[in-house]
Structure 1
């Protein structure tokens, strides 16, 4: 089963290779990151690690048993008890439940380790696979909006049910 790891400096090379290999796949359902993202990747990776150190974000990579990077699952803008969830799974790993399992694990971490009360997420209307991942993880549809000129859906998941309860 794939594992989730908090982003580290030594993930940079594998993460860049993952993003390059899957760029066209991701661009079919989310806005493309643009050429500057790849050209400036070392600085971007360092900036993400700095955000994580400050506690404003939590970035994770998803790896298989052999260490291959299969995806990423991120929590950004941690504030006021919540964060925004984002995730990407390699085209070669889709359809195997990896996104659903990784999102479930990040929801658990958000509630029990990061102390969050809720998560929000968004997906484009033409991405039924992502909508299914969110539904399987108890995200509730809130509203439709525009994301870079594309129809998109906004979701929210309250995390109280993932916290351990104290027995009286």
Structure 2
């Protein structure tokens, strides 16, 4: 599905390993302040293949919906978005994480992908809410969340180990509907 300016959002597959490795390598310094430490293998095609195999196993277990963002004409990866920690029953919730190639920032791509994942969460998975967290100083990601209808609901001290230290995060959620759980 094309979501913005010739960029397609689709389920990630093993065939995306090389394109993801290339994009992650090019964006390594740009993303470092927002990411956990990664081994050198992570930035290789083999490392991405292994990571994707893990993502697909989580998907097959119903716990994750992993997507890649690619330029429709070239097949180049320009980002990814995952809906994870999917919980059904009375909670009906999931958590979202995303990243976009530096060359694509400020073009509405992250917002469009986030809105599409929220649509899938509501219409296909019948989730009640989606949550996300950002570093307290990641104002760009907070703007993306606000544009996609997320509201801040808390602060989590020392929430994730990012760029070499435990970092505080602002927590956001978007309520998708008020129907009773299935």
What TM-score, normalized by structure 1, do the two folds share? 0.88
SS of 1:160 mapped into structure 2: coil
Q: Please list the CA deviations of residues 125-166 of structure 1 after superposition, one character each: whole Å capped at 9, or x if unmatched.
A: 1110000000011111011122322221011111118x9xxx
Shift of 1:6: 0.8
Shift of 1:84: 0.6
Shift of 1:117: 1.4
Where does the alignment leave 5 or more consecutive residues of structure 2 unmatched? Answer: none
SS of 1:87 mapped into structure 2: strand
Pairs within 5 Å for 1:53-68:
53-66=60-73, 67-68=75-76
Is the CA contact (8 Å cut-off) linking 2:20 and 2:48 kept in structure 1? no
Q: Please list the CA deviations of residues 2-47 of structure 1 after superposition, one character each: whole Å capped at 9, or x if unmatched.
A: 2210111211111122222212111123333343534643322211
SS of 2:137 mapped into structure 1: coil
Report which stretch shifted further, 120-129 or 27-36: 27-36
Is the CA contact (8 Å cut-off) linking 1:73 and 1:87 kept in structure 2? yes
Identify the match of residue 50 of structure 2 among 43, 48, 67: 43
Aligned to 2:142: 131
SS of 1:28 mapped into structure 2: helix
Aligned to 1:19: 24
d(CA) in 2 for partners of 1:87, 1:107: 13
User: How many residues are aligned here?
Assistant: 162
d(CA) in 1 for partners of 2:49, 2:13: 13
Aligned to 2:83: 75
d(CA) in 2 for partners of 1:55, 1:101: 24
Aligned to 1:32: 37
Where does the alignment leave 5 or more consecutive residues of structure 1 unmatched? Answer: 164-168
1:94 aligns to 2:105 (yes or no): yes
Aligned to 1:121: 132
What TM-score, normalized by structure 2, do the two folds share? 0.81
d(CA) in 2 for partners of 1:139, 1:90: 22
